[in-house]
């Protein structure tokens, strides 16, 4: 009986393989793995030496059995070497990413953002609604001439209605010729002069009247003016526009009404009110058919075109909407008040 039996060689191969496998597992880095790999592939390495020893086996069957075992052990070791080297490569990449990465994030203490004043918010909502109804926005100067603020609006120098406006005049040019506009109606004339009919315009802006501030009045406030000039415009168009606006802006539960009134620049004239769901009427502004003299001042032929105009206060609407008790609060710039909305 030779000392080379299938059993003893198989056991030796298994032991050599286990030794190689645990050595692979224990390598600490790529270079020691490479050294180990060279060691295992050497001609006289334990596993390779079995190749020559195999010749000592007596039967072909024994040789084949040991040969297969040897091949299996060799390829198992080759796979383990490859796997281990991939592991090192991966952790090498991870370590490098870790080493070279930059933290580009920055901690910012969040800033408190401001918001528009409630009068600006109301103006923007009004503009949105009228743009939706097909209107365009126009603006005019806050410092006006007597011509645009009064004369062109059918209020000649002697007209008694002028005194109702509590005008603030500037000490500039001829006495009482330059003023802070008392309403946005002068922008009607400017639009008529620079646009061509059909005109569908709204004109928001700041206006001024000599008034002592109280809970419902300020010497500086805001109005929005509307002007429509086209062929065949009637009072029905005015009433319909006011009603559509009321529903679009305040909600479908609101309705509007017109009451006879007087303005020098419209004929006939009306005041318009809106009715809340609870039945209460709120006065909103003035309106009417544009007076023929006003069309003429604006360079428009009253025989060819007709139109209507309306104007109302924006501050009152913001006050109503946000349930502000005292309109003066809106202009004292107290952040505790402003931040509420």
Letters for 190-229 (x = contact with ligand PHE by CB under 6 A, - = none) are -----------------------------------x----
272 in contact with ligand PHE (CB under 6 A)? no
Shortest reach from residue 283's CB to ligand PHE, in Å: 11
Angle of CA points 170, 291, 288, to nearest 5°: 95
309 in contact with ligand PHE (CB under 6 A)? yes
CB nearer ligand PHE, residue 123 or residue 266: 266
Binding residues with ligand PHE: total (CB under 6 A):
12
List the structure tokens of 329.
Answer: 């609060």
Alpha helical stretches, state H, the chain: 6-26, 30-41, 46-53, 60-100, 118-132, 146-149, 186-194, 235-250, 292-297, 314-322, 335-338
List the structure tokens of 154.
Answer: 């059918």
186 in contact with ligand PHE (CB under 6 A)? no
264 in contact with ligand PHE (CB under 6 A)? no
Q: Write b or e for each residue in 236-257: b if 16 or more Cβ atoms lie within 10 A of its Cβ, otherwise e.
A: ebbbebbbebbbbbbeeebebe
310 in contact with ligand PHE (CB under 6 A)? yes
287 in contact with ligand PHE (CB under 6 A)? yes
Q: What are phi and psi of 102, to 5 degrees?
A: -115, 140
CB nearer ligand PHE, residue 84 or residue 183: 183
Picking from 278, 260, 200, the residue whose alpha carbon sits closest to that of residue 233 is: 200
- Residue 217 is classified by DSSP as B
286 in contact with ligand PHE (CB under 6 A)? yes
Q: How many CB atoms lie within 10 A of CB 340?
A: 10
241 in contact with ligand PHE (CB under 6 A)? no
311 in contact with ligand PHE (CB under 6 A)? yes
In angstroms, the CA 312 to CA 291 distance is: 18
- Given 263, 298, 300, 324, the residue binding ligand PHE (CB under 6 A): 263
Kindly give, in sequence order, each residue whose CB lies less than 8 Å from that of residue 110, ignoring residues fewer than 6 positions away: none
185 in contact with ligand PHE (CB under 6 A)? yes
Count of residues for the chain?
Answer: 341
Shortest reach from residue 165's CB to ligand PHE, in Å: 8
266 in contact with ligand PHE (CB under 6 A)? yes
CB nearer ligand PHE, residue 50 or residue 135: 135
289 in contact with ligand PHE (CB under 6 A)? no
Shortest reach from residue 153's CB to ligand PHE, in Å: 8
Binding site for ligand PHE (CB under 6 A): 183, 185, 225, 263, 266, 285-288, 309-311
């Amino acid at each position: 009986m030779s000392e080379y039996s299938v059993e003893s060689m198989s056991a030796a191969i298994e032991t050599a393989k286990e030794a190689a496998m645990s050595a692979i597992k224990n390598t600490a880095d790529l270079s020691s793995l490479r050294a180990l790999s060279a060691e295992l592939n050497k001609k006289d390495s334990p596993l390779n030496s079995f190749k020559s020893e195999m010749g000592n086996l007596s039967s072909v069957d024994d040789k084949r059995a040991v040969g297969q075992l040897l091949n299996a052990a060799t390829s198992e070791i080759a796979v383990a070497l490859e796997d281990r080297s991939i592991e090192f490569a991966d952790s090498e990449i991870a370590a490098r990413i870790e080493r070279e990465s930059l933290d580009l994030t920055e901690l910012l203490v969040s800033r408190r953002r401001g918001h528009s004043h409630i009068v600006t918010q109301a103006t923007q909502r009004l503009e949105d609604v009228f743009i939706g109804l097909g209107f365009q926005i126009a603006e005019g100067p806050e410092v006006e001439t007597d011509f645009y603020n009064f004369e062109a609006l059918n209020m000649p120098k002697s007209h008694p209605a002028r005194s109702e406006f509590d005008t603030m005049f500037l000490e500039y040019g001829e006495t009482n010729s330059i003023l802070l506009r008392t309403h946005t109606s002068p922008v009607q004339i400017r639009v008529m002069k620079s646009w061509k009919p059909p005109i569908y315009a709204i004109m928001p802006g700041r206006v001024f009247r000599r008034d002592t501030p109280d809970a419902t009045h300020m010497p500086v406030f805001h109005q929005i003016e509307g002007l429509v000039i086209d062929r065949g415009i009637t009072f029905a168009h005015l009433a319909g526009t006011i009603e559509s606006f009321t529903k679009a802006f305040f909600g479908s539960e609101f309705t509007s009404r017109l009451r006879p009134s007087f303005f020098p620049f419209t004929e006939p004239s009306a005041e318009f009110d809106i009715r809340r769901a609870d039945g209460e009427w709120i006065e909103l502004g003035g309106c009417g058919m544009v007076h023929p003299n006003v069309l003429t001042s604006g360079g428009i032929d009253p025989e060819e075109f007709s139109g209507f105009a309306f104007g109302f206060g924006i501050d009152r609407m913001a006050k109503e909407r946000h349930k502000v008790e005292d309109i003066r609060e809106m202009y004292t710039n107290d952040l505790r008040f402003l931040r509420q909305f």
